[in-house]
């Protein structure tokens, strides 16, 4: 991170939903691959491979010994982080899918359509080892939000706590969990952000935001939710007809901390290209095209805006003129480093 040097490089299979690898405290990577998850040591050596039905959409550490895997076909299980061996029996969240094709349903994962049972990562509460994930069982009229808990002990297992319907459909956007673990947030098919109590799955509020995001909201320390952007890096499937301009994606802030879901502020002049990134002091960073009014989403130049979480005004703006193409990610580490990655493979880091 300090100088941008590449430590090592490994060629990997690339297919399926795009989620990043999980890293443990020793620098070990748990990388999603076609048909399973690979454990890669900090030095780049392969340690083990754990197969799973389909393509992993959730690869999350529950603790130092247990890694939760959920595939886009709804296969869920927990494996040992040291060996890759099963720590729980497999659970079929979307019922029995008889095909042996790991790629079954992939074209529909980007938009969360019924052909893809589990399109995106689960929101995971590591304190209770509970995951919250959207599931669309083949043949069902509506998708569902499902809560699953890992129970350790003499006979470790996964148990389903509850599932509630999401009438009207969903997006391929993953759920987000509140800091206290009491509420889970998820977008429906119209883009509205909905809140559910994690205790029993009961709905608490639903708020329209005026567009359909491709990425989840950022959660500020006070519970404010800042909605995500749209990105052309998400393949919408063989019937997709939208071009390089992914459409409007303003920055919208909703009150999650007080349980109301009311809109606090919005910036329609900013069109987000990826996920927003929250800071520990209540601010948020968003990535937009340098020429905010440009109709060409693939044009050169990206700008990072540091926004005040209270009212949305721009505190600081960083120009990244060399950046081109779609944006694939935006993050902030504990030391305040801002990392921007593009779909063309470039990485930019700022303090």
Q: What angle do CA 309, 311, 314 make, to 5 degrees?
A: 75
In a domain, 143, yes or no: no
**Torsions phi, psi of 168, nearest 5?**
90, -10
pLDDT score recorded for residue 244: 44
198 compared with 10, residue with greater pLDDT? 198
- Report, as an integer, the average pLDDT of 228-234: 67
The answer to whether 108 and 235 have CB atoms below 8 angstroms apart is no
In a domain, 58, yes or no: no
In a domain, 132, yes or no: no
214 compared with 87, residue with greater pLDDT? 87
In a domain, 220, yes or no: yes
In a domain, 299, yes or no: yes
Q: How many domains does the chain have?
A: 1
236-245, 287-296, 306-315: lowest mean pLDDT where?
Answer: 236-245
- Report, as an integer, the average pLDDT of 30-53: 92
Of all residues in the chain, the percent with pLDDT exceeding 90 is 66
pLDDT score recorded for residue 246: 53
Assign 82 a pLDDT band (cuts: 50, 70, 90): very high
Q: What is the pTM of this model?
A: 0.89
Burial class (CB in 10 A: 0-12, 13-18, 19+), 197: middle
* CA proximity to 26, closest of 79, 82, 78: 82
pLDDT score recorded for residue 339: 94
- Report, as an integer, the average pLDDT of 269-287: 94
232 compared with 94, residue with greater pLDDT? 94
**In CATH, what number is assigned to the domain containing residue 268?**
2.130.10.10
Burial 229-244 (b: 16+ CB within 10 A, else e): bbbbbbebeeeeeeee
Q: Is the pLDDT of residue 11 over 80?
A: no
pLDDT score recorded for residue 107: 83
Look at phi and psi of residue 101 and say left if phi exceeds 0, alpha if psi is from -120 to 50, else beta. Answer: beta
Structure tokens at 194: 């909905």
The answer to whether 122 and 131 have CB atoms below 8 angstroms apart is yes
What distance in Å separates the CA atoms of residue 144 and residue 140, rounded to the nearest whole number?
Answer: 9
Read off the pLDDT of residues 95-153 as tens digits, 9 standing for 90 and up.
Answer: 998 888 888 888 888 778 888 999 999 999 999 999 999 999 999 999 999 999 999 98
Distances (CA, A) of 175 to 65, 228, 256: 24, 12, 14
In a domain, 36, yes or no: no
What average pLDDT is seen over the chain?
88
Burial class (CB in 10 A: 0-12, 13-18, 19+), 322: exposed
> What is the domain extent for residue 240?
215-350
pLDDT score recorded for residue 298: 47
In a domain, 94, yes or no: no
In a domain, 109, yes or no: no
Q: In what order do the strands lie in the sheet with 130-135?
A: 123-125, 130-135, 144-151, 157-165
């Amino acid at each position: 991170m300090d100088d941008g040097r590449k430590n090592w490089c490994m060629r990997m299979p690339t297919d399926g939903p795009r989620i990043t690898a999980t890293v443990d405290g020793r620098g070990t990577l748990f990388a999603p691959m076609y048909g399973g998850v690979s454990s890669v040591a900090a030095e780049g050596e392969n340690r083990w491979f754990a197969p799973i039905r389909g393509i992993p959409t959730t690869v999350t550490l529950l603790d130092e010994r247990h890694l939760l895997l959920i595939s886009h076909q709804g296969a869920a299980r927990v494996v040992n982080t040291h060996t890759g061996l099963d720590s729980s029996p497999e659970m079929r969240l979307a019922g029995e899918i008889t095909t042996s094709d790991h790629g079954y349903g992939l074209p529909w994962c980007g938009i969360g359509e019924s052909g893809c049972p589990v399109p995106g990562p689960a929101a995971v509460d590591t304190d209770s080892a509970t995951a919250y994930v959207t599931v669309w069982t083949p043949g069902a009229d509506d998708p569902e939000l499902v809560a699953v808990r890992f129970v350790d002990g003499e006979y470790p297992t996964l148990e389903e706590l509850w599932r509630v319907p999401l009438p009207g459909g969903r997006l391929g956007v993953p759920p987000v969990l509140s800091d206290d673990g009491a509420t889970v947030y998820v977008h429906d098919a119209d883009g509205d952000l909905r809140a559910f109590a994690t205790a029993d799955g009961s709905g608490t509020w639903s708020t329209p935001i005026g567009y359909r995001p491709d990425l989840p909201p950022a959660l500020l320390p006070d519970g404010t939710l800042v909605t995500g952007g749209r990105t052309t890096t998400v393949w919408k499937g063989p019937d997709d007809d939208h071009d390089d301009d992914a459409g409007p994606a303003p920055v919208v802030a909703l009150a999650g901390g007080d349980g109301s879901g009311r809109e606090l502020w919005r910036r329609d002049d900013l069109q987000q290209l990826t996920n927003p990134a929250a800071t520990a002091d209540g601010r948020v960073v968003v990535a937009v095209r340098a020429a905010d009014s440009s109709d060409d989403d693939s044009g050169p130049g990206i700008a990072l805006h540091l926004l005040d979480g209270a009212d949305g005004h721009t505190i600081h703006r960083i120009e990244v003129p060399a950046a081109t193409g779609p944006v694939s990610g935006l993050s902030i580490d504990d030391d305040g480093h801002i990392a921007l990655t593009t779909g063309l493979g470039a990485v930019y880091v700022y303090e």
